Structure 1
Amino acid sequence: MPLACFQCVDTLPIASKHAKGLHKQMKITNFVVNYQNSKKVSNNPFISFKENHPVLTNFVLVMVTLVACLYACYISLDIFTDHGNQTKVPDVRWKLIDQAIDILEDAGLNYTIDSIYNEDYAPGVVTDQSPNAGSSVKFARPILLTMNCLYPPQVEIPKDITDMAGTDGVTTLKTLGFRHVTTDTVPSEMQGLIIEVRVNGRSVEGGTKAALNSKIVVSIGDGSVDAIEFDPLGSQRDSLIKQKIKSGEFQIITDSLGNTHLVPRSKR
């Protein structure tokens, strides 16, 4: 056997021992490194808490994220809604509409106008506003102004007014908004029935429009005239006379002797 082979055989046990020693040394080194790393981790309280309480850690992280999002929304809301850019609503009630508009425009506010009619208030005066005076609103906010009409509205008198009973006709007119409604009585065979309607002294028919502040007089039949007195020539003549009386073209008067007469109604 060659000498080199004997030398290799002799060195095998030595190499094997050296490899075992090196492997053992590496295991010791790895153990020391792992121990040191674990010690470093245990020295970090957050990592230690996270490893020991993973569910609670995730819950805390979720809550922190939620609070951060809410705060971001709050800041964004102030920016997009122009928070803090507000003004006080001035008091413009009982001022003329032109003056009220000037005051609102000077305050940086817009306006919308609604109207009512009340003859107790001056024409064109602001009777109400919304929002109320002193309220805090954003600039350019429209303020609703309620204005009394410059002119009284025109309302139609019911077309069948002369077919109504006196009390019903008066109630209907007042419901429509006419405040100055009075009554008088005229001789007629039709007791309690409306014979004529006069607006500001002028006889009008149903369907006529009149201003709400007009003075209206409703003439109601008193039933003092006997129907027989109107029928000397028959029922046709009686029907015609009734129509004339009802339309206001004729009226019945009683003289000093108690006699009744059918005469044309004088124009007022």
Structure 2
Amino acid sequence: MSKLLSYLKTSTFRKNLIIAIVSVFAFLLLIFFCLRFYTRHGEGVGVPKLQGLPVGQAIALLEEQGLRYQIDSVYQIDRTPGMVVEQDPDAGTNVKLNRTIYLTIITLNAPDVGFPDIFNMSYLEARAVLSNYGIKIADTSYTSDIMRDRVLEVSFRGKTIRKGDPVPKGSSIAMVLGDGKGASEVDLPNLVGLSLPEAIFALKGSSLNPGSIYYEGAVTDSVNARIIKQYPTVSDSLSKVAIGTSVDMVLSNDPAPVE
């Protein structure tokens, strides 16, 4: 122990200690400057403001400053195609040369969406659903139907579309809606061969009224009597009549004549 203390008091130890301290300091200083040179500390360029520029102009600015770029695209209704809407890093950020700048632009072509099932919905319900799909309503027309504003048909560019058909996002479609008045005409049922209760039931189901009832020949069994004639008569030229039309009937126990 005494020898160690004696050595620490010698000039040789002090000389070696100074050399060691200077060497460590020089080594740390060398590392600092090497790292500064390697990383080019303080060197770089400011990212220009690209948002709102056409993509071609944005790319030209980046290339002038020695920056790379990567482009992604989104579709937005009523936005100019090819316009930069987002950038990363933000404008004014100091970055090194060759840094990649990420751009998001508006795509030119709208993506297709499957047309939603809006049929038999009300107009207001259908409009809300279509809005979520990015589809607009350009025109509406009305046709006879018992429900007001019920969606009956949809067309796009003159072609009828169904649930699931591909439609470009942002497109405008035309709708056919119910007028709430019902059909003005209905099919005239053929009553020949039916009993009177059956015929009346068929007429009521078609929104028609039983008219005058006649009998032909000797009707001995009114329950089993069958209709042999009706007025108006179903024919090639007459298959529909107005709602509420009265239909006259002729009944008989004899088989209906073959016409």
What range describes the TM-score normalised by the shorter chain of this pair?
0.5 to 0.7
**Cα 1:119–1:226, aligned 2, differ >3 Å: closer, same or farther?**
closer
Identity of aligned residues (%): 31
Match of 1:109 among 67, 70, 93: 67
Displacement of 1:213 in angstroms is 3.3
Q: Does 2:118 match 1:129?
A: no
1:15: which partner in 2? none
Q: Does 2:161 match 1:204?
A: yes
Match of 2:177 among 207, 220, 231: 220
Of structures 1 and 2, the larger Rg is shown by 1
Structure 1: runs of 5+ lacking an equivalent: 1-33, 48-60, 239-258, 261-268
The 8 Å contact of residues 200 and 214 in structure 1, kept in 2 or not, is answered as: no
User: Match for 1:98: what amino acid?
Assistant: G
Considering fraction of residues, name the structure with more strand.
2
Distance 1:42 1:198 in 2: 103
Displacement of 1:143 in angstroms is 0.9
The 8 Å contact of residues 155 and 176 in structure 1, kept in 2 or not, is answered as: yes
**Secondary structure at the residue paired with 2:119?**
helix
* TM-score, with structure 2 as normaliser: 0.56
Distance 2:100 2:55 in 1: 15
Q: Does 2:118 match 1:176?
A: no
1:1-268 equivalences in 2 (<5 Å): 75=33, 77-158=35-116, 160-180=117-137, 183-225=140-182, 229=186, 232=189
Considering fraction of residues, name the structure with more helix.
1
**Cα 1:84–1:228, aligned 2, differ >3 Å: closer, same or farther?**
same
Displacement of 1:140 in angstroms is 1.1
The aligned length equals: 188
The root-mean-square deviation of aligned C-alpha atoms, in Å, is 4.2
**Secondary structure at the residue paired with 1:188?**
coil
**Secondary structure at the residue paired with 2:66?**
coil
> What are the superposed Cα offsets for residues 193-233 of structure 1, whole Å, 9 maximum, x if unpaired?
32011224443222222223322223332332169945746
> What are the superposed Cα offsets for residues 143-194 of structure 1, whole Å, 9 maximum, x if unpaired?
1111111122222212x33244433322111101124455444321244532
Distance 2:188 2:150 in 1: 20
* TM-score, with structure 1 as normaliser: 0.54
**Cα 1:72–1:180, aligned 2, differ >3 Å: closer, same or farther?**
farther
Displacement of 1:101 in angstroms is 1.4
**Cα 1:181–1:170, aligned 2, differ >3 Å: closer, same or farther?**
farther
> What are the superposed Cα offsets for residues 81-113 of structure 1, whole Å, 9 maximum, x if unpaired?
332331111223333222221221121111111
